């Protein structure tokens, strides 16, 4: 990751009580500046003053530098911060879209799943959310977005490098997020993720590093066909990984759920991806390792930081100005003779 630029608007000071200290230092400096120095008078002084003329302005340069250094030091003591900083970051990583199933079938308890201290059995959605949180924790330097779907698909978070932001939003997802819906439109979720990645493709048509991670139980029953959605994804060069829970991958009963799951698994393989079980830690670790091997994309993002400390710039300026002033006082050309 490399920073290429920085911009900010305005500076404010966090420690305004330091203004009293700055005022005291300014008062001491003014007293020392205007305090009369002891000198001897002589009748020749007026004559010499007319012949020599006024002192050159350069002798005031050391005093000016010291004044500026003292001012910068006072500003540094007030703990200045930049309210908002926008920095441009060039990075190499993956563009990952997590597509999460929120249909009513995801509210079913997992067979043999974990139980809470109150006896509540883990649901499919809870198992998937645990897998997502763990997955996000392994993604450093990747842009991550989240799409949820039931009857329709919706963008929860756009692609961002802020993994904590994404994880917080995932924690908020529950069975009430799409309470008015209940069907499973996997094709809609995949196509929404496809559109997001196509909009975020890097300039020049580069589409490397675009990945969809689908998290569902595989029970599709509405929306556009899954196989057509996966074919669109494949043609756009997007690899799709399927992290499922209790997916019917083998059965002797050719029911509709099995047929849809088979289409989904076959389509995922054609994109270059694989299926992993959300409840199997070994399989999830394999998924992380395989995704890490994918070719990374190059992208530029803008990050917003708040209350960034800025005292170091004032402190360094004070050190440089005070040092320059003290140095010039020892140079005869700038020495004030009285």
pLDDT over 70 for what percent of the chain?
72
Domains in the chain with CATH codes: 11-82+311-334 (no CATH), 95-295 (3.40.50.410)
Read off the pTM: 0.61
Higher pLDDT, 338 or 336: 336
pLDDT number for residue 52:
65
Instruction: Give the mean pLDDT of the chain.
Output: 76
Do the Cβ atoms of 152 and 182 come closer than 8 Å?
Answer: no
pLDDT number for residue 33:
64
pLDDT number for residue 250:
46
pLDDT number for residue 117:
46
pLDDT at residue 150 greater than cutoff 60: yes
pLDDT number for residue 113:
52
Beta strands (DSSP E) in the chain are 2-8, 12-13, 80-93, 95-101, 143-149, 153-160, 210-216, 239-244, 275-277, 297-309
pLDDT class of 45 with cuts at 50, 70, 90:
low
Higher pLDDT, 179 or 317: 317
pLDDT at residue 44 greater than cutoff 70: no
Query: What mean pLDDT do residues 162-190 have?
Result: 80
Q: What is the pLDDT of residues 49-107, one digit of tens each?
A: 666 666 778 888 888 898 898 888 888 888 888 887 777 767 777 888 988 888 777 77
Helix, strand and coil content of the chain, in percent to the nearest 5, comes to 45, 25, 30
Residue 207 vs residues 193, 236, 256: alpha-carbon distances, Å: 14, 8, 35
pLDDT number for residue 307:
79
pLDDT class of 319 with cuts at 50, 70, 90:
very high
d(CA 89, CA 301) in angstroms, rounded, equals 5
Contacts of 197 (CB under 8 A, 6+ apart): 95, 97, 207, 210, 212, 236, 238
- Tokens found for residue 172: 């908020």
pLDDT at residue 5 greater than cutoff 70: no
pLDDT class of 191 with cuts at 50, 70, 90:
very high
Bridge partners (DSSP) of residue 118 are none
Query: What mean pLDDT do residues 149-174 have?
Result: 84
């Amino acid at each position: 990751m490399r920073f290429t630029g920085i911009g900010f608007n305005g500076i404010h000071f966090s420690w305004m009580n330091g203004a009293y200290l700055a005022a005291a230092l300014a008062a001491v400096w003014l007293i020392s500046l205007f305090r009369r120095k002891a000198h001897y008078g002589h009748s020749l002084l007026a004559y010499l003053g007319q012949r020599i003329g006024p002192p050159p302005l350069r002798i005031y340069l050391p005093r000016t530098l010291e004044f500026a250094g003292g001012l910068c030091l006072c500003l540094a003591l007030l703990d200045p911060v930049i309210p908002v900083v926008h920095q441009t970051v060039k990075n190499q990583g993956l563009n990952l879209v997590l597509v999460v199933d929120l249909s009513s079938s995801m509210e079913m308890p997992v067979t043999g799943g974990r139980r809470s201290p109150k006896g509540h059995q883990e649901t499919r959605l809870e198992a998937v959310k645990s897998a997502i949180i763990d997955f996000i924790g392994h993604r450093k330097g990747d842009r991550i977005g989240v799409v949820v779907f039931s009857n329709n698909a919706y963008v929860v978070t756009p692609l961002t490098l802020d993994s904590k932001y994404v994880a917080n939003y995932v924690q908020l997802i529950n069975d009430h997020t799409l309470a008015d819906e209940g069907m499973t439109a996997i094709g809609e979720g995949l196509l929404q993720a496809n559109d997001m990645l196509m909009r975020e493709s890097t300039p020049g048509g580069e589409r490397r590093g675009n990945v969809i991670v689908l998290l569902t139980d595989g029970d599709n029953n509405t929306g556009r066909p899954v196989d057509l959605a996966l074919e669109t994804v494949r043609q756009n060069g997007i690899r799709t990984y399927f992290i499922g829970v209790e997916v019917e991958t083998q059965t002797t009963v050719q029911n509709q759920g099995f047929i849809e799951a088979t289409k989904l698994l076959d389509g995922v393989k054609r994109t270059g991806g694989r299926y992993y079980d959300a409840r199997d830690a070994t399989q999830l670790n394999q998924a992380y390792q395989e995704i890490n091997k994918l070719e990374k994309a190059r992208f530029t993002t803008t990050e917003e930081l708040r209350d960034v400390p800025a005292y170091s710039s004032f402190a360094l300026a004070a050190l440089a100005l005070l040092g320059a002033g003290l140095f010039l006082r020892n140079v005869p050309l700038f020495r004030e003779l009285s």
